[in-house]
Amino acid sequence: MTNDKIIVALDVATTEKALGLVEELRGEISFFKIGLQLYTAEGPEVVRAVLSTGARVWLDLKLHDIPNTVARAVESASTLGVQMLTIHLSGGSEMIRAATGACSAEMLLLGVTVLTSSSEQTLREVGITDTVENQVLRLARLGIEAGIHGVVASPREIKTLRREFGGKIKIAVQGIRPSWAEPGDQKRFMTPREAIEAGADYIGIGRPITAHLRPAEALAKILEELS
């Protein structure tokens, strides 16, 4: 079902607001993303609270540190019982292998390639002279060789990743903006329908839903577009 591909980002500041959104949307969606804003404010207790509703959780912490530290953080996330966790593939093969080695069989470990807010100018600022697409492929290849389960990219790279790696990996995309929503700080974005048709396994959608005056209404518009 298309609904199973949608993950709503709980981009809010408190557990109370997060659980309110989960309650409002759970009739249609069962997968929610907890990122740095909410996790930093509320810690692992918010993860437990969302999981206790029967929902699934993508813990989007984009871990990037020395291998041992990342491995221990992956172990902690596995213990929490989340279904997905992110690390930065730019941490290198040793870090990625440490993470995959510490990951439980029940958790999908995703490697972040190039952030959806980044452009080629951003890459130049940190010394990378290649194109965004080539950098995404380079990092994805590094991750696959080190045992990663899937990658996070912008929707613009889905077809390239599928052409290169086929069904070997799961592809989760952010930078999703319905046709009626403002792009905000996203530079490489697509509509939900475009991303699904391009071959995404999961699409993360945040502010178009969570910042809407009536989140359930925004979600219903997206589901109608997808159907």
**CATH number of 19's domain:** 3.20.20.70
The 10 Å CB-count burial string (b at 16+, else e) for 188-211 is bbbbbbbbbebbbbbbbbbbbbbe
Segments forming the whole domain that contains residue 51: 2-226
> What pTM was computed for the model?
0.91
The question of whether 33 is a catalytic residue gets the answer no
Q: Which of 33, 62, 187, 221 is catalytic?
A: 62
Number of structural domains found in the chain: 1
Kindly report the number of other CB atoms within 10 A of residue 105's CB atom.
5
* Residue 209, amino acid: I
Closest to 169 (Cα-Cα) out of 160, 178, 177: 160
* Arithmetic mean of pLDDT over the chain: 91
List CB contacts of 37: < 8 A, sequence separation 6 or more. Answer: 11, 12, 13
pLDDT digit string (tens) for 192-227? 888 888 899 999 998 888 888 899 999 998 888 887
pLDDT digit string (tens) for 16-71? 999 999 999 998 999 999 999 999 999 999 999 999 999 999 999 999 999 999 99
Confidence of residue 87 (pLDDT cuts 50, 70, 90): very high
